[in-house]
Amino acid sequence: MARPTPEELEAARDLLVPDVLADGLDVLFCGINPGLMSAATGHHFARPGNRFWPVLYASGFTPRRLHPSEQHLLPQYGLGITNVVARATARADELIDEEFREGGRLLVEKVERLRPRWLAVAGVTAYRTAFGDKKARIGPQERTIGTTRIWALPNPSGLNAHWSLATMAEEFGRLREAASDGGR
């Protein structure tokens, strides 16, 4: 697959990337919003520097490192992907708080319908804004959506220098262990 041109990336602004969903997933991963590379390719976490796919493998969620174009395989591992805000932007800071709050409301509806065991929001700041929980920290949250538990994960963007690939894989691994415990 050829890398999108700058013109194709700009044309992807505000486009939507279809969710990867199924009923009763173990973990529904939730990004902040699609970047332009994701919108141009139609694949979540498609930017080459994004660490989502390497971390998913390193933490044991998948038996091998998947390419973003293989996102359709996730439900066979009990996994799915959505976003807090659906529209694509070059940077998350182009979004306004109202978009996060509305995205949180829509995300609750989606989770109530699909009933995953865990909702894993990759970006604690996005989680805080979408759900009005200013004190949220990385890790499991007290809040639930019905029987779905929530885990705030570090943002896998390559721009998130506070988390190395190894420490991010450890946190994702904690979630994987919790999701495989069988309890809600």
DSSP secondary structure of 91-141: SGGGS-HHHHHHHHHHHHHHHHHH--SEEEEE-HHHHHHHHT-TT--SEEE
Residue carrying structure tokens 């949250």: 141
Contacts for 20 with CB less than 8 Å, ≥ 6 apart: 44, 71, 72, 74, 75, 79, 80, 81, 82
**pTM to 2 decimal places:** 0.95
DSSP state of 72: G
pLDDT tens over the chain, length 184 residues: 678 999 999 999 989 999 999 999 999 999 999 999 999 999 999 998 899 999 999 999 999 999 999 999 999 999 999 999 999 999 989 999 999 999 999 999 999 999 999 999 999 999 999 999 999 999 999 999 999 999 999 999 877 778 999 999 999 999 999 999 854 4
Residues belonging to the active site: 33, 44
DSSP state of 52: H
Cα 65 from Cα 90, distance rounded (Å) = 25
